Structure 1
Amino acid sequence: MGFLLLLLGLALWIGAHLFKRVAPERRAALGDRGKGLVAAAIGLSLVLMVLGYRSAEFVNVWYPAAWLTHVNNVLMLFAFYSFGIGASKGRHAQRIRHPQLTAVKIWAVAHLLANGDLASILLFGGLLGWAVAEVVLINKAVPVWEKPSEIRPNGDVKNAIIAAVLYAVVAGIHVLLGVYPFG
């Protein structure tokens, strides 16, 4: 049942996020009500993915080396930093077109390196595939990127501090859930 929930959640996540890209007329026809429907679908998809991942039978596919846990942890710092680039409006906002999707890709790769079980490969690999597809579809729809004009002098520093705090909070949540991210 765990794998089924995981796959349903993943499919719902991908479908809800890509709906606007693959069926823009249908999404526009829903108007503001559509925002609520998409948000509900994304929320439900998260619940299904978490429940499915946590309850999936452990099926080992490969054994990651112990040092890959440390690579995962370093990459996660970059993922948190990347996620906040757009909001921080520092200099890096003019270098990375899709900072949040870049963060998802870093997060997914990091977790694929550190986890060799089937549920992890499905979850993190599926979300990596979605993030790549999303970037391709956005770049196809809007091929020319207008870089942000507003740059905040301390934006990158503030983003780094917030990323470090969030990293610590998420690591603490992992520990509370019985997952020890530091080996």
Structure 2
Amino acid sequence: MMGWIGFGAAFAAFFLSHRIPLRPPVRARLVAALGQRGFTLGYSVLSMAVLAWLIAAAATAPYVALWPRAAWQNWVPLVAMGAACVLVCLAAGRPNPLSFGGANNDGFDPDHPGILRWTRHPLLVAAALWAGAHLVPNGDLAHVILFGVFAFFALAGMRIVDRRTRREMGPERWQALCQRIASTSMLPRPASWTGAALRWGMAILLYAALLWLHPVVLGVSPLP
């Protein structure tokens, strides 16, 4: 019973830590006190700490099997996480006025949308891939709740962010920007081939680091 209580407490802390600091009055005070970079750094550290607690709490919750484990299941997150790493590295730190996580959005060039040609929300797609793929080899109740909730909110978040940005930009401007991006080539030419190569290299390094850290941090090898 205590394991489920701890799991529930970690979930509550996770949602509160993502809800309270982002409320406009609270965020404004924190940004005023810490600066924008300080707020972003602090929020990131808090989010990662609470996420680590939640994952640890899921591992210590009572084991209730929902489907059996099979060796092939490990291949699902191995493949999906490769795609997730590419999405993260192609999107992180780049302008993206249509979703969260963008940097220097005023400099966004819709004629060179990059990964946005395929999805407006690359970071949310990466989160959905991470969560959905990890459902397959983790068929116990606690992990199904954990990854299922994350997958649901990542997918639902795309519609929520679309509504918010559409409201903030105005429906006509939002629609025009989306249509302009959609009119570019399905294989968009990068604004900088050197920058694109660096980001693909970062994706490979990130994937290798996750493979190495998985058994070190979580005590479970991701390999079949």
| TM-score above 0.5, yes or no | yes
Question: Match of 1:84?
Answer: 89
Q: Which has the higher contact order (CA 8 A, sep 6+)?
A: 1
Give unmatched runs, 5+ long, in structure 1: none
Please, what TM-score do these two structures have when normalized by structure 1? 0.79
Q: Which has the larger radius of gyration?
A: 2
Question: Match of 1:157?
Answer: 197
Determine if the alignment matches structure 1 residue 132 to structure 2 residue 155: yes
Cα shift at 1:28: 4.6
* Secondary structure of 1:128's aligned partner: helix
Separation in 2, partners of 1:80, 1:171? 12
Check 1:136–1:28 CA distance in 2 against 1; reply closer, same or farther (3 A cut): same
* Secondary structure of 2:62's aligned partner: coil
Separation in 2, partners of 1:8, 1:128? 20
Determine if the alignment matches structure 1 residue 117 to structure 2 residue 140: yes
| RMSD between aligned residues | 3.0
Indicate which of 102, 120, 144 corresponds to 1:97.
120
* Secondary structure of 2:193's aligned partner: coil
Which residue identity lines up with residue 96 of structure 1 in the other structure?
T
**Cα deviations across residues 140-167 of structure 1 (Å, max 9, x unaligned)?**
111227579x833244433222122111
Cα shift at 1:18: 4.3
Which residue identity lines up with residue 175 of structure 1 in the other structure?
P
Indicate which of 175, 179, 182 corresponds to 2:220.
179
Separation in 1, partners of 2:197, 2:144? 34
Tell me the number of residue pairs that the alignment of Structure 1 and Structure 2 aligns: 180
Separation in 2, partners of 1:18, 1:153? 38
Does the 8 Å CA contact 2:115/2:122 hold for their aligned counterparts? no
Separation in 2, partners of 1:157, 1:141? 33
Which residue identity lines up with residue 30 of structure 1 in the other structure?
R
Give unmatched runs, 5+ long, in structure 2: 95-112, 167-173, 182-189
